[in-house]
A and B are shown apart, each in its own frame.
Chain A
Amino acid sequence: MKSIRKSAVVLAATAMSLSLALAGCSSSSSNEAGSGSTQAPAASGSPAATKAASSSDLKPYEIKMVYPGTAQPDQAKVEEAMNKILKEKINATIKLMPIDWGQWDNKTNLMIASREDFDILFTAQWNGHAVNVGKGALLPLNDLLSQYGKGITDSLDPNFLEGAKIDGKNYGVPTNKELAASGGIVYRTDIAKELGLDLSNVKTIQDLEPILKTVKEKKPEMTALFLREGDNFNAHYFAQYDFLGDATIPGTIMKDGDSTKVIPVWDQPRYKETLKITRDFYQKGYVNKDAATTQLSYQDAMKTGNVFMITQSLKPGKDAEMAASTGLIGKLGQVEMTARTISTGDSAGSMLGISASSKDPARAMMFINLLHTDKALNNLINFGIEGVHYTKVEGKDNIIKATDAGKNYAPGAAWMFGNQFLNYLFENEDPQKWEKYKEFNKSGKKSPGLGFTFNSEPVKTEVAAAVNVEKEFNAALDTGSVDPDATLAKYQEKMKAAGMDKIIAEKQKQFDAFLATKK
């Protein structure tokens, strides 16, 4: 029997070790050495690198940048071209690590949790920025900014950094782009012309009535006004509600008001008025019938070619941008219908943070600084190599057109990388776009809640319940699909039952504490 036992043990042991041996047989195609855990990051304030006097006294370093997007076929070429600039300026090389949108949340969470070694991470208020900061995934940047981010602080509107703060510190460098936002509509100019409609003096939602009426009568096959959940007259950008963070959590102030009292959205004077008009439009058949449930994005709706008007969060040139992405070039116009306001969401909508696992945060900051200041580098990462992916239009320094090979490098991520004011413009865009942006940003009114983001952790359960109630009612109410008078009472009742008062009290408490620190 002894021999049986022995060999059986051997068998079992073989089986167990086989799985380990197999693992050893694989060759890794990634070029990173699988070093174990990274070292604890240097405390902010004592960056490892020396002063950036010149690139020669910096050690060579590879900066890894993780951002959402689709990997481009010509990425390696562009990296190479970027490295030429970076070597000379900060003696670094860049490795772009795009992650597909759909995998973004999953993958970045794992990368953060496993303290994987990378330097720069795209982050945004709508993408769990506060959560990641809470996890300690991102370094506070204020010291680094003052040391290596001169170019950033000089060119960036201070409202950006102020709005993106969490507990008085910045954990991401906001992209320099449109800062304010206003609500309005985007409509088909070609159809308006055909029907002889003039939208130049539209000021309120009510003013749209005769226009929609004409469209409905003359073009019955068209959807005069396409509404959907999140894109309607009651959307936060149109009605100017500031939810102080996540727009699914009840409790608002007004972006264009001064009151700092957090109240339920239906107590805002604008709310019921808007619902009434929307309901009226819906009953008259101006609005798409499936508005409450449609999964069609506004873009796809526009693309179908039988939608006359949609509501949009506006900025200069939004119509041209949309035209390009929906294939309706030259056929769209926009009408601003609200004040221009700046809220936390607008200022922190796109940022580059530095990972706590970065081995050289200082160098990462230098790179972000270059993205904000170095025109050549900025356009390289956004549009590829001149003469390969795009050519400049004759006699214009700032206007480009894509070549046939342009599709091999079109990340469409200019809004994530540094400074949009350095971007070249495509032919079909307004050549004055950036000047208009600057003016637009200047004219924005700050929301009383700028810089504050609500932390829903203490009222997690109530929030979960409230979000479900919202799902049930919001889309139907906001799109005019149901009678507001009857439904609103039910909505309020259910919200109260979900613990709305507790959420609002908590919001108010945090908000007051925030306001106290600002004084």
Chain B
Amino acid sequence: MESYKFMFKDWHQILRSFGISVYLAVVGTAISLVVMALYAYPISRSDFPHKNFFSFFMFFTMLFNGGLVPWYLVYTQMLDLKNTLAALMIPLLVSAFYVLLLRTFFANSIPMALIEAAKIDGAGEIRTFSQIILPLSLPVLASVALFQVLNYWNDWFLSLVFISGSKNINLQFMMYKTMLDIQFLSSNVQASQGLAAAGGVLKLPTETVRMAMAVLGIGPIVFAYPFFQKYFKKGLMVGAVKG
């Protein structure tokens, strides 16, 4: 109990970081689902002529990446996202692996006949996609959403790299920061000595406080699981096409 009290002394920072984490998890996941589904759907269609090119375009990023520094440059200098919330969201928006996962689902679980039927009934592409394909793909969307929520929730690296100051950091990083500080100061004796000499004392939380932080960190995500659970159980395709 003491630890929680100690932690909530700094409650406005915690609340802020908590809010940021929740916001990122919710909004980030929603946007990323839309974007990934929109990308995955066309490349799942066998009658789409550039399918292979676009598939490869996405797949290529799984094999090769530019490395940390160019990646950092793109976000900070090209897009100028340093210290923004967008910097915490955009890098995780599209994951090649999930796109391929979605594509496979769209291609294998939804019969072409269904799409053709919709077309004959006069639905356009967009309508087919939003009213036929997406509702039928709830299971895969739910699993990808769950993964993405977890990714956003557990991410601390983006905060580490892009955010300075404590205004825009998410909850995970707030906790991780203290760990990093402890690590650094225990491995650099001279720094800690200098710091001590100047009378600057790093307030490092005790073990119990860290554990309390961990509880706070896992709390909300625990509730996300049962919420997604019900989609996993749902069966697929209940006789949409007469065989």
Chain A residues close to B by CB (< 8 Å):
1, 3-5, 7-9, 11-12, 14-16, 18-19, 22-23, 25-30, 32, 34-37, 68-71, 97, 99-107, 110, 113-114, 116, 124, 126-127, 230-231, 295, 297, 299, 313, 318, 321-322, 324-325, 345, 349-350, 382, 410-416, 426
* A103 touching B160 in the complex, CB below 8 Å, given contacts A34-B77, A126-B191, A295-B186: yes
How many Å lie between the Cα of A186 and that of B82 in the bound state? 45
Does B165 sit within 8 A of A, measured CB to CB?
yes
Please indicate the chain A residues that have their CB under 8 angstroms from the CB of B196 in the complex: 299, 321-322, 325
Please indicate the chain A residues that have their CB under 8 angstroms from the CB of B43 in the complex: 12
B177 touches A100 (CB 8 A): yes
Does B18 sit within 8 A of A, measured CB to CB?
no
B198 touches A22 (CB 8 A): no
What's the least CB distance linking A350 to chain B, in Å? Answer: 6
Please indicate the chain B residues that have their CB under 8 angstroms from the CB of A426 in the complex: 199
Does B241 sit within 8 A of A, measured CB to CB?
no
Please indicate the chain A residues that have their CB under 8 angstroms from the CB of B199 in the complex: 321, 324-325, 410, 412, 426
A349 touches B194 (CB 8 A): yes
B161 touches A28 (CB 8 A): no
Interfacial residues of chain B within 80-120, with CB under 8 A of chain A in the complex: 80-87, 90, 93-94, 119
Number of chain B residues close to chain A: CB under 8 A: 71
A110 touches B69 (CB 8 A): yes
Please indicate the chain B residues that have their CB under 8 angstroms from the CB of A5 in the complex: 47-49
Does B139 sit within 8 A of A, measured CB to CB?
no
Does B65 sit within 8 A of A, measured CB to CB?
no
What's the least CB distance linking A472 to chain B, in Å? Answer: 17
What's the least CB distance linking A236 to chain B, in Å? Answer: 11
The segment out of B1-9, B123-131, B214-222, B232-240 that lies at the interface is: B123-131
B94 touches A19 (CB 8 A): yes
* A100 touching B72 in the complex, CB below 8 Å, given contacts A11-B41, A28-B83: no
A127 touches B191 (CB 8 A): yes
A101 touches B77 (CB 8 A): no
Does B201 sit within 8 A of A, measured CB to CB?
yes
B69 touches A12 (CB 8 A): no
Residue of A nearest to B54 (CB): A12
How many Å lie between the Cα of A5 and that of B191 in the bound state? 62
What's the least CB distance linking B77 to chain A, in Å? Answer: 6
A101 touches B69 (CB 8 A): no
A113 touches B72 (CB 8 A): yes
B82 touches A28 (CB 8 A): yes
Residue of B nearest to A417 (CB): B198
**Chain B interface main SS type:** helix
How many Å lie between the Cα of A29 and that of B125 in the bound state? 39
Can you give 17 contacting A-B residue pairs, CB < 8 Å?
A: A1-B47, A4-B48, A5-B49, A8-B42, A8-B45, A26-B79, A26-B84, A28-B82, A30-B82, A100-B181, A101-B181, A102-B178, A102-B181, A102-B184, A107-B160, A107-B164, A297-B192
Does B73 sit within 8 A of A, measured CB to CB?
yes
Please list the 7 inter-chain residue pairs (A to B) with the smallest Cβ-Cβ separation, ordered nearest first.
A412-B200, A102-B180, A34-B80, A26-B86, A15-B38, A7-B125, A15-B39
Residue of A nearest to B48 (CB): A8
Complex interface bits, B147-181 against A, C-beta within 8 A gives 1, otherwise 0 = 00000000000001100111110000000111111
How many Å lie between the Cα of A12 and that of B179 in the bound state? 43
Residue of A nearest to B193 (CB): A313
Interfacial residues of chain B within 19-62, with CB under 8 A of chain A in the complex: 31, 34-35, 38-39, 41-43, 45, 47-50, 54
* A104 touching B184 in the complex, CB below 8 Å, given contacts A1-B47, A110-B161: yes
What's the least CB distance linking A188 to chain B, in Å? Answer: 17
* A101 touching B126 in the complex, CB below 8 Å, given contacts A114-B72, A114-B76, A126-B190: no
What's the least CB distance linking A321 to chain B, in Å? Answer: 5
What's the least CB distance linking B69 to chain A, in Å? Answer: 4
Does B15 sit within 8 A of A, measured CB to CB?
no
Residue of A nearest to B129 (CB): A11
Please indicate the chain A residues that have their CB under 8 angstroms from the CB of B34 in the complex: 18
How many Å lie between the Cα of A299 and that of B190 in the bound state? 13
A414 touches B54 (CB 8 A): no
A297 touches B186 (CB 8 A): yes
A11 touches B183 (CB 8 A): no
B69 touches A321 (CB 8 A): no
Does B68 sit within 8 A of A, measured CB to CB?
yes
Please indicate the chain A residues that have their CB under 8 angstroms from the CB of B84 in the complex: 26-30
B200 touches A26 (CB 8 A): no
Does B211 sit within 8 A of A, measured CB to CB?
no
Q: Contacting A71 at CB < 8 Å: which of B39, B78, B166, B179?
A: B166
Does B197 sit within 8 A of A, measured CB to CB?
yes
Please indicate the chain A residues that have their CB under 8 angstroms from the CB of B188 in the complex: 126-127
Residue of B nearest to A382 (CB): B198
Q: Contacting B93 at CB < 8 Å: which of A22, A32, A349?
A: A22
Please indicate the chain A residues that have their CB under 8 angstroms from the CB of B48 in the complex: 4-5, 8-9, 12
B184 touches A101 (CB 8 A): yes
